[in-house]
Amino acid sequence: MVNVLFVCLGNICRSPMAEAVLRHQIEQRHLSDQITVDSAGTGDWHIGKVPHEGTRRILDLHGISYENMKARLVSGDDFGKFQYIICMDKSNGDNVRKIPGGEKSQLLFFMDLLPDEELREVPDPYFTGNFEQVYDLVNAGCEVLLERIITDKLEQA
């Protein structure tokens, strides 16, 4: 099993969007029995809440499910469980590294999946209001990530 964790600050806007989009792409490729996806935040303000209305609206527009998704905090247990821990911006990475065990964790940064984009961090739509921009980045980046997982993990198994 390959396990992917997306991390942002509140776990209500960007990382749940990435979780839902990647899970949808995985289902379309019939790989749900080989890859799991989750998301978590480094801030505790929204624990237990469903994704932000802007994230829900854009996922609805694209027919992508966010059923049963609730915000949670990143924890030290995640470091042993997830082979891919993908931070949406640099401060998320700094916050993850402050969690006990996190200083040694191997982190990826979402925008490294999209090296041709000028943006080097996924903008936070909680502040920008631009959920469409985040959806376009997330959709493109998740396609790259899924191809990478297939090549690096599934075809090697």
Asked if 142 is an active-site residue, the reply is no
Site map 11..30 versus ligand 4NP, x via CB under 6 A: xxxx----------------
Question: Annotated catalytic residue: which of 8, 13, 87, 142?
Answer: 8
Asked if 38 is an active-site residue, the reply is no
Q: Which residues inside 116-155 make contact with ligand 4NP, applying CB under 6 A? A: 124, 126
SS3 at position 84: strand
Count of positions on this chain that bind ligand 4NP (CB under 6 A): 10
Q: Counting Cβ atoms within 10 Å, is residue 20 exposed (0-12), middle (13-18) or buried (19+)? A: buried
45 binds ligand 4NP (CB under 6 A): yes
Site map 48..77 versus ligand 4NP, x via CB under 6 A: ------------------------------
44 binds ligand 4NP (CB under 6 A): no
The number of C-alpha atoms within 13 Å of 129 and in the hemisphere containing its C-beta is 0
Asked if 78 is an active-site residue, the reply is no
8 binds ligand 4NP (CB under 6 A): yes
**Contact indicator for 109, 93 with CB cutoff of 8 Å:** yes
| Helix ranges, 13-123 (H) | 14-28, 53-61, 78-81, 90-98
**Contact indicator for 55, 16 with CB cutoff of 8 Å:** yes
28: nearest Cα among 63, 76, 74: 63
- Closest to ligand 4NP by CB, 2 vs 16, is 16
Residue 70 neighbours by CB distance under 10 Å: 13
CB of 98 to ligand 4NP, least distance (A): 16
CA dist 48 and 73 (Å) reads 9
Q: Which residues are catalytic?
A: 8, 14, 124
Binding site for ligand 4NP (CB under 6 A): 8-14, 45, 124, 126
